[in-house]
Amino acid sequence: MTEAAIAVVGLRKSFGKTAALRGLDLTVPAGTVCGLLGPNGAGKTTAVRVLATLAAPDAGSARVNGFDVVRQAAQVRRSIGLAGQHAAVEEGITGRDNLRLIGRYHGLGSRGARSRADDLLERFDLAEVADRLVRTYSGGLRRRLDLVASLVTAPPVLFLDEPTTGLDPRSRQEIWDAVRELAEGGTTVLLTTQYLDEADRLADAVAVLDHGTVIEHGTPGRLKAAIGIRIEVTVAQAAQLDTAVRVLADLAAGVPVADPAERRVEVTSGAGRTIALPQLVRELDAAGVSAQDVALRTPSLDDVFLALTAAPGRAAR
Ligand SMILES: Nc1ncnc2c1ncn2[C@@H]1O[C@H](COP(=O)(O)OP(=O)(O)O)[C@@H](O)[C@H]1O
Ligand SMILES: [Mg+2]
């Protein structure tokens, strides 16, 4: 078995009284894209910073490309790229000069740095804007240049910390295209995100992080299958909501959630459970609920996340 590109065991990191990572375990096979998913404050950035050797862990171990992030930090640094939410490129020079400078800094030599910059600009559709000052770039362009800047050294492992947060849909799409192209070329990518659709589109596997630990992981398909199907019932009168909640609680494994403003109740069926529409409508009828609309649909990762973080018995903060 070849060693995983990223192997994290029991990683802990606190800032004063705040425990940002409380025993993080994560394995990312080489050549795959892992989506580290979690709400604000879950510990995503701290995890990336520890893996990128920018912060020291308090306990546990982490290896990147086989190198220990504490004892072999220099080797780790040489084999990774890092791009984040806040673009780290120089504003007062052009995009092309940014990439050339980075290449020179990493010892590519003037000719090497020049051709590497040209290649990357071409490959990631930045050639047209390459000779403009970065100061004049839109937020989306800057973020894309920042991503490309992390690729100058052709790192086998790339960390992307919320690469599309705050971007418009089109810029997000462009970043996604770039990540996909890298993944196809064999780069291992660890991507943090608050957007479940982003993880769904890009990630081979997803780890859901909450309060500094992984509370669930698997392929997006497996995570969705684990909560079964999604049932949405809209009742004719708001007064029938409570009854509808009771009917659904009996039928499904999930905890029904009512939205009074929409007169709607939603629930997930639970793993392996199928609920037939006729049976559902019959049970609602029998309870005196007239349903205005009943829908069964496959869950999205958003549903998975809500089901996970609303699950009873979940560790309190
Ligand atoms: N440098 C720091 N000093 C103090 N607290 C921090 C620091 N960095 C992160 N934290 C805290 O650690 C927790 C996890 O933060 P972070 O890793 O940034 O989460 P995420 O990236 O998922 O939003 C939060 O409670 C945050 O306030
Ligand atoms: Mg963060």
pLDDT value, residue 119: 94
pLDDT value, residue 191: 96
Same domain? 168 vs 29:
yes
Q: Is 314 a member of any domain?
A: no
CATH number at residue 207: 3.40.50.300
Residue 315 has pLDDT above 50, yes or no: no
Same domain? 199 vs 244:
no
Same domain? 218 vs 233:
no
Residue 310 has pLDDT above 90, yes or no: no
Closest C-alpha residue for ligand 1 atom 3: 15
One-letter amino acid at 268 equals T
Residue where one domain finishes, among candidates 224, 248, 268: 224
pLDDT tens, 187-202?
Answer: 999 999 988 888 888 9
pLDDT value, residue 2: 64
Q: Nearest-CA neighbor of 135 among 178, 174, 167, 89?
A: 89
Q: What's the average model confidence in pLDDT over 176-183? A: 91
Distance CA 73, CA 63 (A): 10
3-class SS letters over 71-106: CCHHHHHHCEEEECCCCCCCCCCEHHHHHHHHHHHC
- 44 close to ligand 1 (CB < 6 Angstrom): yes
When the pLDDT of each residue in the chain is averaged and rounded to a whole number, the result is 90
Q: Is 1 a member of any domain?
A: no
- Residue range of the domain that includes 291: 228-298
Q: Is 311 a member of any domain?
A: no
Q: What is the whole-number distance in angstroms between the Cα of residue 240 and the centre of ligand 1?
A: 43
Same domain? 167 vs 248:
no
CATH number at residue 254: 3.30.70.100
Q: Nearest-CA neighbor of 120 among 93, 141, 91, 99?
A: 99
Closest C-alpha residue for ligand 1 atom 8: 46
- 212 close to ligand 1 (CB < 6 Angstrom): no
3-class SS letters over 160-190: EECCCCCCCHHHHHHHHHHHHHHHHCCCEEE
Report the domain count for the chain: 2
Same domain? 182 vs 247:
no
Q: What's the average model confidence in pLDDT over 33-49? A: 94
Same domain? 119 vs 244:
no
Same domain? 249 vs 120:
no
Q: Tell me which DSSP letter residue 52 carries.
A: T
Contact between 316 and 212 (Cβ < 8 Å): no
Q: Does residue 218 sit in helix, strand or coil?
A: strand
Q: Is 263 a member of any domain?
A: yes
